[in-house]
Structures are given as C-alpha cells and as structure tokens.
C-alpha cells in the first residue's frame, strides 16, 4: 500500500463519491471494481477531484485513465 499523499487524497474522494471504504481502493482499482462507477458518476468524481485539488482536469484526459493510480498520476502532472 502506498503512502503517496496525492493517491491518498484521490482514494478518499473516490470513496466519498461512491460511498465505499477507502481501504478497499488500491492504485489498481478500476471503475468495474466499484459499484455504480459509470460515465455519469465519473463526472461527479471529476468535479470532486477538481474541488479537492483546486485543479481543472482536461476533459479528454479525464476519461483516459484506466485505474485510480493513473488518476493520481494525472492529477500530479497537472
């Protein structure tokens, strides 16, 4: 399990968005592992992440990420 602070924050926003236990989320977690994570819910997640990080995620990249770890990498790169 990583101690990376960016990942930790992403993990908590994902957990809040989908109402699940943060401990169940790893960098390898994909949308298919989380109940209710569809493209409409993904939009809520993006808004949640943008507000938590104070950053704007480019739309075309917001849907390219394959798992939670990649989402953290994307936020780190912005």
**Residue among 4 and 33 whose Cβ is closer to other proteins:** 33
- Choosing from 33, 52, 53, 67, the residue that interacts with other proteins (CB under 8 A) is 33
Nearest approach in angstroms of CB 51 to other proteins is 8
Burial category of 48 from C-beta neighbours within 10 Å (exposed 0-12, middle 13-18, buried 19 and up): middle
Choose one: 3-11, 26-34, 67-75; the region binding other proteins (CB under 8 A): 26-34
* Residues at the interface with other proteins (CB under 8 A): 30-33, 35-44, 46-47, 51, 59-60, 62-64
């Amino acid at each position: 399990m990583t101690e990376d602070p960016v990942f930790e924050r992403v993990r908590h926003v994902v957990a809040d968005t989908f109402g699940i236990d943060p401990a169940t989320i790893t960098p390898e977690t994909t949308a298919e592992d989380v109940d209710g994570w569809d493209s409409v819910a993904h939009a809520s997640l993006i808004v949640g992440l943008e507000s938590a990080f104070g950053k704007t995620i480019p739309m075309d990249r917001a849907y390219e990420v394959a798992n939670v770890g990649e989402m953290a990498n994307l936020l780190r790169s912005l």
